[in-house]
Amino acid sequence: MKPSTAPQRALLLTSLAAAMFASSLAYAQADLILTNGKVATMAREGEFVQALAVKDGKVLATGSNAEVLKLKTPTTQLVDAGGRTVIPGLNDSHLHVIREGLNYNMELRWDGVTSLKRALQMLKEQAARTPEGEWVKVVGGWNEYQFEEKRLPTLEEINAAVPDRPVFILYLYGLGFLNQKGIATLGYDKDTKFKDGVVELDAAGKPTGKLIAKPNALILYSTLARTNKLSRADQVNSTLHFYRELNRLGVTSAIDAGGGFQNYPDDYGVTLELARAGKLTVRTSYYLFAQRAGKELEDFGRWLTMTHPKKNDHMFYPNGFSAEGGGENLVASAADFENFLEPRPDLPESMEGELEAVVSLLVKNRWPFRLHATYGESIDRDLAVIEKVNAKTPLNGLRFIVDHGETITDVQLARIKKLGGGVAVQDRMHFQGEAYWKRYGAQTRQMPPIRKMLDMKVPVGLGTDGTRVSSYNPWPSVYWAVTGKTAGGMRIWQDKDVPSRFEALQLMTTGSAWMSGEETAKGKLQPGQYADFIVLPQDYFSVDAEKIKRMESLLTVVNGKVVYGAGEYAPLAPSLPAVSPAWSPVATYGGYQNR
């Protein structure tokens, strides 16, 4: 009998769909099945299943062991989670992944080191194995509050540790340290000047080795650019090892925000080459970062003819490696660097006209965009430009992202929501909270106001802004989100503002996926979504909060394939070539010092 009412027809269609899905499962052949897990589907808080099946890079089914094992065939790979917690792979909404791939193998990472004594010992040890003519470099990812000593190294300590190899140490985007050999190698003297920044001189007029960003990081960028670079072959090796390092920490997706001295297309060649060969193990989207002050409109106009959003330069699936749009530096005049060692910069009067021209071009050509904006004062002016462009050429669903937004206001959040934008937040206050409080005093408002964003339903994604300020490790960012604590242990959020563990994980999964337009494709472990997941050594949802920042993955699966394994899962992971060059710090220390 034909159903007579709309509800009856809807029920019939639902029943037919369920029957068709069940029928398709009966004939499905799973490529991989994970059993005996506490699998957080992330579809809703508190929903866990025991097993999941994977087919063609996507989740095929979830449920009990018995239900999912019905999809097993003689060729299905079986993985026993051993009762451990399984979560979707982490997705960093703002990571300088492409740039770090080119540099990772020549950097000594102090990320996670717990004492200054050990950090200086690592510096000394690395110098002993570094060949003549090469630099020893520590490029971000640390601060003094992570050390037991709660202080920065002195220039005397740096010179004592390494007298015979050039050293460059980057501290956030506020300070740089050169040893005497580094000063001599660069030829810095009393006449060395930078438009933005100071080369500190001693009483005799000689450089001390301290470089001070005032207010932006140009002096630090420029100095770093004059140090050594890896060969092309070593850059390929470095990129492979950095992506494996991210997999170790549970990262399966990242959105690259460009960066200073990261030119398109030149500095994207290695990653594109590996992507086309199917060798990348982190789903990567990228935004193009304008490099030439005053010529940004010209650059974006040229790039519009070279690439486009969702371009099929993927690694192993549609849209997996794609140009997403323009940012985070749209125009130099709009950059309000978050150097909390210096006062908030005032943007020049020319900003509005320059930004409007670029945003108009991007909106007209339907390019999503993102812009670096730390302070509410800057965001107010940025939004006025976007609103003006929108009045002439409606965004009509075109996405844009405000990056950072530490002091963004409720009114500004409402304006962003009305325009259809979102906010990408990072754990910079985890690394710089003490510096901010010293300059501006104790704060009662959450910075950035994540709780307000969630309450207002403004799209928000969590990330790191690694690697030159914060660390690239996502777990300190998740820890910061669920505790409100800085690296030094200072709690800077009120109880009412702290997200739940489920909410924090959402921010680093589906929240970040919104930033690349993939929120319906990844971030949950449900049929049809990408089969990207990690097995954790401890239960994220119940473990002591202090242990969250030291978490890493035991098993990482991307696109249904094992890309990283430790302990009993190590034999499942594909091998990598040995780290090159042989003297690389990564060969001795690895990356994040998690042990």
pLDDT at 7 over 60: no
Q: Which residues pair with 38 in a beta bridge?
A: 85
Query: Is residue 159, in this structure, part of any structural domain at all?
Result: yes
Q: For position 325, what pLDDT does the model report?
A: 83
Confidence band (pLDDT; 50, 70, 90) for 8? low
Average pLDDT score over the chain:
92
Residue type (1 letter), 97: V
Spatial contact of 48 and 5, defined as CB atoms under 8 Å apart: no
**Token pair for residue 438?**
């010293």
CA distance 372 to 404: 7
| 363 vs 25: which has the higher pLDDT | 363
Fill in the DSSP letter of residue 315: S
CA atoms within 13 A on the CB side of 296: 27
Q: Judge residue 575's burial from the number of C-beta atoms within 10 Å of its C-beta, 0-12 exposed, 13-18 middle, 19 or more buried.
A: exposed
Nearest CA to 253 out of 423, 98, 90 is that of 90
CA distance 18 to 34: 23
Can you state the angle between helices 296-303 and 351-364, rounded to 10 degrees? Answer: 10
| 15 vs 520: which has the higher pLDDT | 520
Q: Judge residue 304's burial from the number of C-beta atoms within 10 Å of its C-beta, 0-12 exposed, 13-18 middle, 19 or more buried.
A: middle
Confidence band (pLDDT; 50, 70, 90) for 321? very low
**Token pair for residue 469?**
């300020």
**What's the average model confidence in pLDDT over 390-411?**
97
pLDDT at 215 over 80: no
Q: Judge residue 205's burial from the number of C-beta atoms within 10 Å of its C-beta, 0-12 exposed, 13-18 middle, 19 or more buried.
A: exposed
Provide the sign of the torsion angle of the four alpha carbons 23, 29, 31, 37, taken in this order: positive
Q: Which helix (H) or strand (E) holds 357?
A: helix 351-364
Total number of domains in the chain? 1
**What's the average model confidence in pLDDT over 562-590?**
98
Q: For position 226, what pLDDT does the model report?
A: 97
Q: For position 322, what pLDDT does the model report?
A: 58
Can you state the angle between helices 428-440 and 474-483, rounded to 10 degrees? Answer: 50
Q: For position 2, what pLDDT does the model report?
A: 53
Spatial contact of 411 and 380, defined as CB atoms under 8 Å apart: no
Residue 67: other Cβ atoms inside 10 A: 15
**What's the average model confidence in pLDDT over 389-403?**
97
**242-251 pLDDT, tens per residue?**
999 999 999 9
Query: Is residue 519, in this structure, part of any structural domain at all?
Result: no
Spatial contact of 477 and 470, defined as CB atoms under 8 Å apart: yes
What b/e string do you get for 502-533 counting C-beta neighbours within 10 Å, with b at 16 or more?
bbbbbbbbbbbbbbbbbbebbbbbbeebbbbb
| 18 vs 451: which has the higher pLDDT | 451
Would you call the peptide bond into 448 cis, given omega within 30 degrees of 0 as the criterion?
yes
Spatial contact of 141 and 474, defined as CB atoms under 8 Å apart: no
Confidence band (pLDDT; 50, 70, 90) for 18? very low
CA distance 515 to 356: 22
pLDDT at 92 over 70: yes
Confidence band (pLDDT; 50, 70, 90) for 442? confident
Query: Is residue 569, in this structure, part of any structural domain at all?
Result: no
Confidence band (pLDDT; 50, 70, 90) for 387? very high
Q: For position 319, what pLDDT does the model report?
A: 33
Query: Is residue 119, in this structure, part of any structural domain at all?
Result: yes
The residue assigned the tokens 């794609």 is: 322
pLDDT at 258 over 80: yes
**Domain around 217:** 95-229
Q: What is the DSSP secondary-structure string of 94-145?
A: EE-HHHHHHHGGGB---TT---HHHHHHHHHHHHHHSPTT--EEEESS--GG
CA distance 74 to 93: 39
Spatial contact of 328 and 291, defined as CB atoms under 8 Å apart: no
Q: For position 23, what pLDDT does the model report?
A: 47
**Token pair for residue 103?**
């540099």
pLDDT at 22 over 80: no
Nearest CA to 426 out of 473, 489, 383, 382 is that of 473
Q: For position 341, what pLDDT does the model report?
A: 86
**338-376 pLDDT, tens per residue?**
788 888 889 999 999 999 999 999 999 999 999 999 999
pTM of the model: 0.94
Q: Which helix (H) or strand (E) holds 210?
A: strand 207-212
Query: Is residue 105, in this structure, part of any structural domain at all?
Result: yes
**496-550 pLDDT, tens per residue?**
999 999 999 999 999 999 999 999 999 999 999 999 999 999 999 999 999 999 9
The residue assigned the tokens 């509800």 is: 7
The residue assigned the tokens 């050293």 is: 167
Query: Is residue 290, in this structure, part of any structural domain at all?
Result: no
pLDDT at 390 over 70: yes
Share of the chain above pLDDT 90, in %: 83
**What's the average model confidence in pLDDT over 209-217?**
91
Lowest mean pLDDT among 152-156, 401-405, 516-520, 557-561: 516-520
pLDDT at 312 over 70: no
Q: For position 177, what pLDDT does the model report?
A: 98
Query: Is residue 79, in this structure, part of any structural domain at all?
Result: no
What is the 3-state secondary structure of 388-454? HHHHHCCCCCCCEEEEECCCCCHHHHHHHHHHCCEEEEECHHHHHHHHHHHHHCCCCCCCCCHHHHH
| 177 vs 195: which has the higher pLDDT | 177
pLDDT at 330 over 90: yes
Nearest CA to 479 out of 543, 386, 415 is that of 543
**261-311 pLDDT, tens per residue?**
899 999 999 998 898 888 999 999 889 999 999 999 999 999 999 887 766
SS3 content of the chain, % helix, strand, coil (to 5): 35, 20, 45
CA distance 327 to 103: 21
Q: For position 9, what pLDDT does the model report?
A: 52
Q: For position 5, what pLDDT does the model report?
A: 56
Q: Which residues pair with 523 in a beta bridge?
A: none
